[in-house]
Amino acid sequence: MDRIHIRGGNRLNGRIPISGAKNSALTLLPCALLTDEPLTLRNLPRLADVDSFGHLLNQLGVSTMIEGARPEDFGRVMTARAGRVTATTAPYDIVRKMRASILVLGPLVARMGEATVSLPGGCAIGNRPIDLHLKALEAFGANVEMAAGYVKVSAPGGRVPGGTMVFPVVSVGATENALMVAVRAKGTCVIENAAREPEIVDLCNCLVRMGAKIDGIGTSTLTIEGVDRLHGATYAVMPDRIEAGSYACAVALTGGAIELTNADASEMGATLDALKLAGADVRVEGSSIHVSSDGQLSPIDLETLPYPGFATDMQAQFMAMLTLASGESHLTETIFENRYMHVPELARMGADITVNGRSATVHGVDGLTGAQVMATDLRASMSLIIAGLAAEGETKVSRVYHLDRGYERLEEKLSAVGADIERVSDG
């Protein structure tokens, strides 16, 4: 099993290219099931989750081809074609590896009129039920059954008739599944209190490129007029705003100056505002974000919220950054109830953090010390990397397969800007 070793204390200077967004890529890939024509995705990140989703599509009969892939390149071009869907069951052995697998549910029902999908796995960051996914499909006229760890959904007559779903709370994944079944409904589907994340907008734009009719893109009310068929398309995955924010937190803590290229600052307002409040200097020039810091940070208060609020996927990274702030910071996690599992690991490095339910108080300390730590989920693992970059001595991070799910060639990118970091294999 691989580990990442970091010898902290180096300032970060240089350029870091931002990859295509993991959360968007995993939403765009299942769109291939909606048509028998090729869907080509550009700027696709090289990630374990993307590979796993590709394997899932293969099991359903989708052919996937990587075009012109070179080891030194960031991003890939993949063409997926579901000329004939050969299976409508997404099995446990693949779905258990990542929660995003549930996103084949909507497209399979839309294309084939039925789907059987194992209940998903993914990061252990709290209870993330799929009830809202199923309620949306039911609201559009689908029949839902659940047994033996699987959910079976069918559409009467092969296509859902349409309807209105009012989400009681904002759900990104449920909005995505609802969109992908609605685009091929017999009638009109309306989604109220829809998620507005940039990844939702990316999905809508890709579906429109494929021939879907969607009104209200970027708002909380989406109206989808179903069409008889969708066609193929070529579409570029949006830049990863979470990856960009993670590297910004790293340079804010270590000091230095980096340019994040191929980034989109317009989608990162809450993150960039929080960095500025903490004392980092942030400057935007076109598709580049320049972040610099002297390593002297101020405490801030943060609350995770649905977009355009502060992203839950940035909470762990900011917590690591704030461990050395000159005062007391307060973080409130409103999205997931079990997303502080990185706190004990940060404490092993000398951080002073108190957790009370969904709230955490970070008492700034004078310094962190390298230690052996264990990643517990994707974003928590990045928080340990950030802390290790600033810690005195060596930090050894185990279970780095979590990192490989969401950060493309992380060691290479950080080494290029001055970090002393390497991947070590036990075997």
Q: Which residues are catalytic?
A: 123
Which one-letter amino acid corresponds to residue 29? Answer: L
Report the amino acid identity of residue 156. Answer: P
Helix (H, G, I), strand (E, B) or coil at 379: helix
Strand 256-261 to 281-285 pairing: unpaired
The two tokens of residue 326 are: 């000159």
CA distance 305 to 70: 38
Q: Which tokens in the block code for residue 86?
A: 């050969």
Task: Write phi, then psi, for 220 (nearest 5 degrees).
Answer: -85, 0
> How many C-beta atoms lie closer than 10 Å to residue 415's C-beta?
13
Tokens (6 digits) for 214 = 């969607």
The sheet with strand 213-215 has its strands ordered as: 163-166, 188-192, 221-225, 213-215
- 151 vs 121: CA distance, rounded Å: 14
The residue to which tokens 């068929």 are assigned = 229
328: tokens are 């007391």
Q: What are phi and psi of 360, to 5 degrees?
A: -135, 135
CB 397 within 8 A of CB 388: yes
- Beta carbons of 168 and 193 less than 8 angstroms apart: yes
Neighbours of 221 (CB within 10 A): 12
Q: Which residues pair with 421 in a beta bridge?
A: 6
User: Alpha carbon 246 to chain centroid distance?
Assistant: 12
- Alpha-carbon distance 202 to 24, whole Å? 7
SS in 3 state form for 338-374?
CCCCCHHHHHHCCCEEEEECCEEEEECCCCCECCEEE
